Structure 1
């Protein structure tokens, strides 16, 4: 089994890259579309740094399902790309890199969400039962659909679906 993983999903959004970019570069706005926000509704969240752009930091701590960790924007190219380094602290320690790329199309923007990381010995064994592609792929599909809905106005901004 490979020592690294890469999971990629893409989706078309009916809005210009600038509109999509503002939701990606501002970590405070991830609550509106990230599927990981649903893992623990009582999760504690803090944002530091600028909140948006390079140096923005988002930290979370939740139940066993949500775990604890940190996101930091390390690269931001307006209307083109946002690169985020992720460090998971609980339940398993790991690091990954998320690249969100935007490509203008005639009808809006193609958004590509790619995540890469190194597999630890434990995640390699776990991967025999549940590969990263099967764990992360559906979550990223859900997140991209939420992003599209939020950007296109079908979903209210600011948080996961209300109940």
Structure 2
């Protein structure tokens, strides 16, 4: 009887391993959003790791998370490393390439709780209704990653984080775009008022001419 149980378990394990091995190793997920704002605003939020704390869906996981920055302040070569609780884990991001107002490529290295290296890509495409921001991530799964994907919908799980982050970028940049227009209108009105005030001032009298008298 015990022999049959072990045999059944062995067959089940072989079958499970075959199913896991048949899973694709490469994976990719993507989310997008259209933002009614100039392209420089969302691009700037992504291109500067110091500003990720304002919109990243993972920044609020651990309020005590330690953050360090290295390399250039923003753009290619900028590095952001973090270390937090069990949920936040430990890892770092490096901007590999940054084309102003077009695309940003980031290498994401997860060190804890499980090692992984993925590539995140942000693209920015201006259009009639605003700029469409696409956030994609791709990588490769080993055996454990393939097994994990059988029980957890990573696209749905991580995709929700992407959607939340993009929605926050939209809210921040559309608000800033509105504030920018209001500031520009205020400065224009002030300049016009000052110009009108100068035009309304009377012209200064010319210098008095000296007169001579004949004795």
Q: Give yes or no for TM over 0.5.
A: yes
The correspondence of residues 39-78 of structure 1 with structure 2, limited to 5 A, is 39-78=61-100
Count of aligned residue pairs for this structure pair? 154
1:20–1:151 contact (8 Å) kept in structure 2: yes
Higher relative contact order (CA 8 A, sep 6+): 1
1:15–1:107 contact (8 Å) kept in structure 2: no
Correspondence for 2:174: 152
- What is the TM-score normalised by the length of structure 2? 0.70
- Which of 34, 39, 42 does residue 12 from structure 1 map onto? 34
Distance 1:153 1:7 in 2: 28
- Pairing 1:110–2:132 present: yes
Bigger shift: residues 125-134 or 135-144 = 125-134
Correspondence for 1:161: none
Correspondence for 1:122: 144
- Which of 112, 122, 127 does residue 100 from structure 1 map onto? 122
- What is the TM-score normalised by the length of structure 1? 0.91
Distance 1:127 1:147 in 2: 29
**Structure with greater helix percent:** 2
- Structure of greater Rg: 2
**Structure with greater strand percent:** 1
Deviations 1:101-121 (A, max 9, x none): 000011320000000011122
